Amino acid sequence: MKKQIILFCFSVLFLVSCGQTNRLTEEDYLWMPYNGNEMLVFKSNAGEIDTIFLLKKDTLLAYPEAQSINGVKYEVVSVFCKHSDPNILQGKHRYLENVFLEVKKSKNRQAEINILLSAKDANFYRLSRITTDSLSKVKQVTLQTSYGQYDDVYVIEGEDYLGSLSQRSDFVVKLYWSKSEGLIRYDKKDSVFWELSK
């Protein structure tokens, strides 16, 4: 009888954990400013132009631990893009397709944003998580660019724990993220910055 009770308890626990899904709330979705069909044109203070083409937005359920068949599922909404290859190969410009932005509910029920900026001679490296809770506690700043004023801007620093990434010419030191408009500016270490022109 004792074995049957223990077996029953494990079965119930297994079934309950299989069904757990951490979903994004309406408030979490406010951190996704894109429809997935925009064209983001950036202009540098050196006069160069680069375009990021947003291709689509998709929502799916994922498992944080692939090896666990009874892991907690989480919801993630992603925007995919076509962007300039940060590396010019044989003097030729080419485009690559990747994820540009993700908003997801982690297994600990926190909403996170993941900005995966790659552009012409630019890569944004961020190793630690960006939770929407932590951003909500930071005071937003106003940023005036050549193309407009934004009043809901967060400044997000690039990271390099080992010191090797920041030595690269494409290292993005910080980006300026508007909650309503998305990426509006990014700065490189060589004093070059790129602003959203349209």
* C-alpha distances out from residue 101 to 30, 39, 56, 130, Å: 13, 14, 11, 12
Tell me the per-residue pLDDT of 101-153, one tens digit each, with 9 for 90 and over. 999 988 788 999 999 999 998 999 988 889 999 898 888 999 999 889 999 99
Task: Report yes or no on 127 lying in a domain.
Answer: yes
Residues in Cβ contact with 122 at an 8 Å cutoff, skipping those fewer than 6 apart: 86, 170, 172, 186, 188, 194
Q: Is residue 182 part of a domain?
A: yes
Euclidean distance between CA atoms 186 and 86, whole angstroms? 14
pLDDT at 57 over 60: yes
Residue 168 lies in a domain: yes
Res 66: pLDDT? 56
Residue 11 lies in a domain: no
In a domain, 61, yes or no: yes
Kindly report the number of other CB atoms within 10 A of residue 176's CB atom: 20
- With b for 16 or more beta-carbon neighbours within 10 A and e for fewer, the 4-21 pattern comes to eeeeeeeeeeeeeeeeee
Number of domains in the chain: 1
Task: Identify the residue with better confidence: 9 or 93.
Answer: 93
Structural domain span for residue 183: 21-196
Question: What are 58-105's pLDDT values in tens digits?
Answer: 988 876 655 555 577 889 999 999 999 888 777 788 899 999 999 998
Structural domain includes residue 3: no
